Amino acid sequence: MTKAFVFDAYGTLFDVQSVADATEAAFPGHGEIITQIWRMKQLEYSWLRSMMGAYEDFWAVTRQSLAYTLRVLGLEARPELLDAIAATYNSLTPYPEAEAALAALSGYRRAILSNGSPAMLAQLVGNSPLAPHVGDILSVDAKRAYKPDPRAYALVEERLGVRPADVVFVSSNGFDIAGAKRFGFRVARIERAPAAAVRGEIGREIGAGAIRPATLYKALRTQLEGLGFAPDHVVGSLAELAALPGIAPATD
């Protein structure tokens, strides 16, 4: 029986690609490649720190992965500019359907479970129109382990008091979908980049002589992982969650 919907934040409710205006403004002509390498390295650093037992919070990871990106590209930024660019992760743009989708699930407990630090999430959610529709904001910082570590997902039962089987976990990130399903949640995947569409983009761009960084990101980070943990539901947007089987419509 569904009692709660738990959402990933970055890439699921909030568009990580919305940092591109800031990266392009800071380094004209390099915005796209900075945006994509930065996000991929941000995730890699979260996994590496969990595996090494060398936890630092997501603000540190975000800043370190941005510094890595600029260094690899041969770009330089003073500490204050680095901080200003990193802070765009605290004001990401929500996906257009996110607010209405959360409102449509008002009959259920709604929460966020995110790799973001408590301070980052407080700013991100608090300054967005989503805040009135989210009852609980859970940061993996409490466990000092990043998703998809099972310790991170354990926060849901500990803090919300709901069994994994009574949770629909919502994410667009392949690693998160696999981790949440392995943990025991029912999982809904938001498929914003269908496999056929990504294959088509890759084919066209190879034919043109170069694959864009954004297309490579889609291939590496938006697709299902081949780990044997498939989602229970696949939908094209957050707006479709309220129509999942067994989900009652919202009531006033």
- CATH C-level class of 17-89: mainly alpha
Q: Count the neighbouring beta carbons within 10 Å of the beta carbon of residue 144.
A: 16
Q: What is d(CA 213, CA 35) in angstroms, rounded to the nearest whole number?
A: 9
Instruction: Please state which CATH class domain 4-15+91-243 belongs to.
Output: alpha beta
83 labelled catalytic? no
Burial 203-232 (b: 16+ CB within 10 A, else e): eeeeeeeeeebebbbbeebbbeeeeebebe
Encoded tokens for 84 = 């200003």
In one-letter notation, the amino acid at residue 169 is F
pLDDT along the chain (252 residues), means of 10: 96 98 98 98 98 98 98 96 97 98 96 98 97 97 98 98 97 98 98 96 95 94 95 96 78 40
Query: pLDDT by residue (tens digit) across 118-173?
Result: 999 999 999 999 999 999 999 999 999 999 999 999 999 999 999 999 999 999 99
pTM recorded for the entire structure: 0.95
Kindly report, as residue ranges, where domains of CATH 3.40.50.1000 are found in the chain: 4-15+91-243
Listed in order, the ranges of the chain carrying CATH 1.10.150.240 are 17-89
Which one of the listed residues 8, 141, 149, 176 is annotated catalytic? Answer: 8
Q: How many CB atoms neighbour CB 201 within 10 A?
A: 18
The C-alpha torsion from 88 through 238 and 196 to 31, rounded to 10°, is -10
